[in-house]
A and B are shown apart, each in its own frame.
Chain A
Amino acid sequence: MMTDSVLRDRFFKKYHGQEIENCIQCGMCSGSCPLAPHMDFGPRQLFAMAREGDMNEVLHANTIWLCVSCYNCVVKCPRGISITDHMYSLKKMATEVGIKPPKMLHLYRSFNAPVEKNGRLTDVMAMAGYGLRHPGAAMANVPLGLKMLSRKRLELKPASVKNIDGFQRVLKKAKELERVS
C-alpha cells in the first residue's frame, strides 16, 4: 500500500486533483447528490479528507463507486470544481493501487466492454458480462429483464456504430495519450 502523501501527490499532480484546494466546503455537492445517503462520505467530506491526505480512507470509500455521473453537483458547485471528473480519477487510482474493487467495478467494466467492441452500449452484452461474475445479482434482475423485453425496451442484437474502425482509432489514440500523461 502506498503512503497517503504519495497518493495525495499523485492525485493532485497526475490527476489534476489540486483543484479541490478551491473547495469552500459549502456542501452544495453532497446536498445535490442523489446517492449521498448511501455513501460512506459525501463528496464534500471526501474532498476535505483528500486535501488533508487521508487518501487510503478516500480510496476505500464507496463514494467514488456510487457516483452515477449525473453532474448535478458540477452544475451547481460555486467554485466550479469538476467533482464528477475527480470521482473518475479516484476510481482509477483505486484500481491502480489494487484496492479490492466492489461489485461496482465489474458493472463499469461490463458497460465498457461492449462500448470498446462496438462503439455503443448494448443492454444484453452489459448484463451478460456482469451476470457471469455475479450470477446471483443477474438472476435477481431477470424479472425486470423480462418486463423490459415485453415492452420492447431490451435490445437483443448487439449493434455497432457505422464507422467502427474510426471509433477504435479514436479510442487507441486516447489510450496512447493517457499513457503519455
Chain B
Amino acid sequence: MRESKPKIGVYVCHCGTNISGKVDVEAVSEYASALPHVAIAKNFKFMCSSPGQQLVIDDIRKNDLNRVVVASCSPRMHEKTFRTACQAAGINPYYFQMACIREHDSWVTEDPEAATQKAKDLVRGSVARVAHHQQLTSRVVDINPNVLVIGGGISGMQAALDIADGGKKVYLVERDPSIGGNMSKFDKTFPTLDCAACISTPKLVAVGQHENIEMMTYSEVADVSGFVGNFTVKIRKKPRYVDADKCTGCGVCTEKCPSKVLSEFDHDLTKRKAIFTPFPQSVPNTPVIDTENCLFFKKGKCRACEKFCEAGAIDFEQKEEIVEINVGSIIIATGFETFDPTPLTQYGFGRYPEVYTSIQFERINNATGPTSGKIVTKDGKKPESVAIIHCVGSRDQNYMKYCSRVCCMYSMKFAHLVREKTGAEVYEFYIDIRSPGKGYEEFYNRLQEEGTHFIRGKVSQITDMVDSPEDEGKLMVVAEDTLARKVRRIPVDMVVLSVGLKPAAGIEDIARMVGISVDSDGWINELHPKLGPLATPSDGIFIAGCCQGPKDIPDSVAQGQGAAGAALSLISRGKLEIEAAVSAIDPERCMGCRQCEEVCVYGAISYHPALNICEVNEAICKGCGNCAATCPNKAIDLKHFNNDELLAEMEGLMFGPADFHHGTDEQAA
C-alpha cells in the first residue's frame, strides 16, 4: 500500500543519565532534525514515561507525522510501548523504528564523543529504514479451549485435574495400560514417610471419574500438527483386546490365564499373566492382553480368558485405532525411567541375586509388591546388614553426568524402612549427601540418630569373595572410607543400587513432533532456565515434571499445577493475535525446491505438491528469516525485515545523508 511522503518524528531519550551521561542527546536530536524526511526531532528525559509517549502521540496528531523513530534502549525493552503509542495516535504500529543507543552505545562506549557519533549513526540508519516501512496488520485467530496432557504420572494427573476443575476439557494420554506413573510403584515418600499409594490412589480415581477428563490409556501420540491455539493431534490407541465398556474388572481372566511373564511394574521381581492389569489399583481397571506372550496370539490356541469372562468382554478382533483430536495447548509430562545398572559390572547387578535397583526395592517395600512389603532376601531370610549405594549411574561421566537429585533422599528413606522393618545394620555409601528441601536435612539428621552408618566413598566393587568363612554367602562391599582414609570391606546380605533418573524412552519423538529440543542428556529444554521453566520455545507447548530433569514429588506436582495454570491462561484468552513480522512466499517466484522447508526450525513451512510451491503458516512463523536467506530464487520476503528495509538501514548506517538520499524519494514517495 502506497503512502504519502514520509514525515518522520525522531525522539532521543536521555534515560535519566543512562544515555545522556555519555551521549550528547541535544547534538543528536539537532543532527536528526536535518536528516531527510525528518519533520520533528526532540529529546526527552524518559521517552517510555507517560509524558514521553504523549509527546509522540501529540506530535503525530498535530504535525501529521507518519513515521516515528525513538532512539533509546533495546527494542526488547520498549518496542511494544512505542508501537502502541503510534497505534493510539492513529498510525500503523509498524511505522515505528527503534534505535538502540543505550545497550549498544552509551553503556558500552567509553569516549563521549565516539558515543555521540555512534548515536548519530544509529539514528541515521533508523531514519533511512523507517522511510521504507510498510503497513502491516496482525491477524487474530481463535484458540481451541481443549488441552492435551501427555503422560499420566503424578505431574500429568495433577495438570489434568487442575485444568478439568477449571472447567476445560482435557485429553490425558498414557502409553501404559494404567495411569499412575512411577509414583504408584513407591511405598513411602520422603521425608514425611506418608504412604505413596494412600496419597496417589485418590488422584488416579479422581482423574478416572472426572467428567472433563477423557483418559486415553494404552495410547501414544502419533502426530502433532498445527500451531498454538489450534493443534491437531493423532493418537494411536493400541488394542487392549478387552472391551472396556463390558469389562467389570473382576479379574477372572487374569486368574485363568496360563501364560506367565516377568512383570514390568514389579521390575522383573514377580511374574504377571499375559492378560493383566499392571497393579491392583489400576485406573482404568480394564486388563490388556500382551500379544507377545498370549498363547492365542502366539499359537492360535487357548482363549481361556474368553471362556471364563462372564461379561463377554474379551475381543480378539480389536484393531489399532488412530483418533484425531483438536486442542489449543499441550502439556508434556512424560517423566523418567530409572537407569539400568547392568553396564556397571563391578556392582554385579543381574549376577548376584541380592543386588537390587532402588525401584525394585520400592516394590519390595510395597504392600502389593513381591514380598507383600516384607524386607527379605530371595531365600526368605531377614537381612542382618544392607548396603545402599548412592550415585549409581549419576554424577558419572561414563553414564549420566548430572546429579539425579532424589537418590540421596530415597536412599535415606530406605535406610529408615530397613531399620524399622528388620533392625538390620544399614550402610549408606555416598559421595555427598544432597538434602536441599523442606524437612530434608532434618530427615538426614534423624537417620544419623537412628544409627545408620554413613560412609563417604563411592563403592568400587561388590563381590561374593568373602574374607572369612563365617561370611560365606554374603556380598562384600568394597569402598574407600574417604573420611577415615581406609579401604573398608563390609559383608552384607542385600545391596540396593540407588540408580539415577533418565528421560523416559520416546521423549525425543514427542519433542520432535511438537518442534522442541532436548538437551545433551535427553531432557526437554525449557524456554528459560529461570523465568520460563514450564514453557517451551513452541508457543502453546508446556512441560511439567521429570521430562525436564530429575525432580521429587512435590516439585513434580507443583510443575503440574504450574503448567495447568499456564495452559489455562492461554486458552482462557479465547483469541490470539499473531505477529505480523512473518515471512511470505511469492507463489510466482517459488519453484518448489523446498530448501526453506528444510531450514525452518519451527515447522512453519509446508509444501503443496499440486502447485509445486511452499507456503508459510503465519501462526507458526516466528520471523527468524532462515527461509528468506536460504531461498535461491529470492521468492521469500520477511515482512518488516525485507531487503528494501534492511538495505536502506545499512546504507543509512554506513553513509552520510547526502549518499543515502539516493533511492529513498522515488521508492517511498
Residues in chain A within 8 A of chain B (CB atoms)? 24-32, 36-37, 42, 44-45, 72, 76, 78-80
Q: Which of the segments B92-100, B395-403, B550-558 contacts the partner chain?
A: B395-403
Q: How many Å lie between the Cα of A44 and that of B460 in the bound state?
A: 13
Residues in chain B within 8 A of chain A (CB atoms)? 346, 391, 395-398, 431-432, 456-461, 478-482, 485, 487
Known: A27-B456, A28-B480; 16 extra A-B contacts, CB below 8 A, are: A25-B482, A26-B457, A27-B480, A27-B481, A27-B482, A28-B459, A30-B487, A31-B457, A31-B458, A31-B478, A42-B487, A44-B480, A45-B482, A72-B460, A76-B346, A78-B396
User: In angstroms, how far is the closest chain B Cβ from the Cβ of A94?
Assistant: 22
Q: 6 tightest A-B contacts by CB?
A: A31-B460, A27-B480, A78-B396, A27-B457, A26-B458, A30-B480
CB contacts (< 8 Å) of B482 on chain A: these are 25-27, 30, 44-45
CB contacts (< 8 Å) of A76 on chain B: these are 346, 460
- Select from chain A the residue with minimum beta-carbon distance to B344: A76
Q: How many Å lie between the Cα of A80 and that of B391 in the bound state?
A: 15
User: In angstroms, how far is the closest chain B Cβ from the Cβ of A44?
Assistant: 6
User: In angstroms, how far is the closest chain B Cβ from the Cβ of A32?
Assistant: 4
Given contacts A25-B482, A45-B485, A31 and B398 within 8 Å (CB-CB): no
Could you write out 13 A-B pairs with CB less than 8 Å apart? A26-B431, A26-B482, A27-B460, A28-B457, A29-B460, A30-B480, A31-B460, A31-B478, A32-B346, A36-B487, A42-B480, A72-B460, A76-B346
- Select from chain A the residue with minimum beta-carbon distance to B390: A26
Q: How many Å lie between the Cα of A24 and that of B403 in the bound state?
A: 13
- Select from chain B the residue with minimum beta-carbon distance to A30: B480
User: In angstroms, how far is the closest chain A Cβ from the Cβ of B392?
Assistant: 10
CB contacts (< 8 Å) of B456 on chain A: these are 27
Q: How many Å lie between the Cα of A24 and that of B432 in the bound state?
A: 9
Q: How many Å lie between the Cα of A42 and that of B487 in the bound state?
A: 9
Q: How many Å lie between the Cα of A76 and that of B480 in the bound state?
A: 14
User: In angstroms, how far is the closest chain A Cβ from the Cβ of B462?
Assistant: 11
Q: How many Å lie between the Cα of A36 and that of B481 in the bound state?
A: 12
CB contacts (< 8 Å) of A36 on chain B: these are 480, 487
Do B459 and A31 touch across chains, with their CB atoms under 8 A apart? yes
CB contacts (< 8 Å) of B479 on chain A: these are 27, 31
Q: How many Å lie between the Cα of A28 and that of B347 in the bound state?
A: 12
CB contacts (< 8 Å) of A44 on chain B: these are 480, 482
CB contacts (< 8 Å) of A25 on chain B: these are 431, 482
Do B458 and A80 touch across chains, with their CB atoms under 8 A apart? no
Do A28 and B458 touch across chains, with their CB atoms under 8 A apart? yes
Do A32 and B398 touch across chains, with their CB atoms under 8 A apart? no
CB contacts (< 8 Å) of B460 on chain A: these are 27-32, 72, 76
CB contacts (< 8 Å) of A45 on chain B: these are 482, 485
User: In angstroms, how far is the closest chain A Cβ from the Cβ of B485?
Assistant: 6
Question: CB within 8 A of A78: which of B398, B461, B481?
Answer: B398
User: In angstroms, how far is the closest chain B Cβ from the Cβ of A41?
Assistant: 8
- Select from chain A the residue with minimum beta-carbon distance to B455: A27
CB contacts (< 8 Å) of B457 on chain A: these are 26-28, 31
Do A80 and B398 touch across chains, with their CB atoms under 8 A apart? yes
CB contacts (< 8 Å) of A37 on chain B: these are 487
Q: How many Å lie between the Cα of A27 and that of B457 in the bound state?
A: 5
Given contacts A31-B479, A31-B487, A42-B487, A79 and B397 within 8 Å (CB-CB): yes
